Homo-oligomer: A and B are copies of this chain.
């Protein structure tokens, strides 16, 4: 199944393919997961820049807000995006400046601020989102529906495995 005919990019995982055998196969699994994800993510970033002159974090923030019409606080956004709080501060500031997002005080809590998409934000995101979905489908089109289902399920197990092994965080 390896494309021996075309040895294109030599990534870390490929380089390890001929490493001393008997070594932990968990490591190999992880490296393959990482390179696959990095490959897809890089392509998505490139296309977002090329077609919409935007970035993945901006897209992700818009996506989070698009799914929450009532708005989200900065903290809620940072949890959904799995990034730090301070990160969202700057990201949101740039999107507000560009007129895609608005922030307003949350009634009853003078600490929190609600972020919401503006009309322009909704419009822009709708276009980007459609393209994004098509890109993903294109990139994964080499997998059959059965393979996709199996992969989805196994990744679910992996996710649970990681969350279980993680230092007891809060589970609301």
Is the C-beta of A49 less than 8 angstroms from some C-beta in chain B? no
Closest chain B residue, CB of each to CB of A5? B84
Are the C-beta atoms of B151 and A29 separated by less than 8 Å? Answer: yes
Cα A161 to Cα B79 in complex, Å, equals 31
Contact pattern, A 117-153, Cβ under 8 Å of B = 1, otherwise 0: 0000000000000001100111111110101111110
Contact B139 A162 (CB under 8 A): yes
Say yes or no: B162 contacts A151, CB within 8 Å: no
Residues of B with C-beta under 8 A to A170: 8
Judged by a CB distance under 8 angstroms, whether A99 is at the interface is no
Residues of chain B with a CB closer than 8 A to A26's CB? 133, 136-137, 140-141, 148
- A163 at interface by CB-CB < 8 Å: yes
Q: Give bound CA distance, A4 to B6, whole Å.
A: 42
Residues facing B in A58-81 (CB within 8 A) are 60, 63-64, 67, 78-81
6 residue pairs of the A-B complex, CB under 8 angstroms, read A4-B78, A8-B172, A29-B155, A39-B162, A142-B157, A142-B165
Given contacts A9-B171, A36-B162, 12 further A-B contacts (CB under 8 A): A1-B160, A4-B84, A7-B172, A24-B133, A24-B136, A25-B149, A34-B37, A38-B82, A142-B160, A142-B162, A142-B165, A150-B150
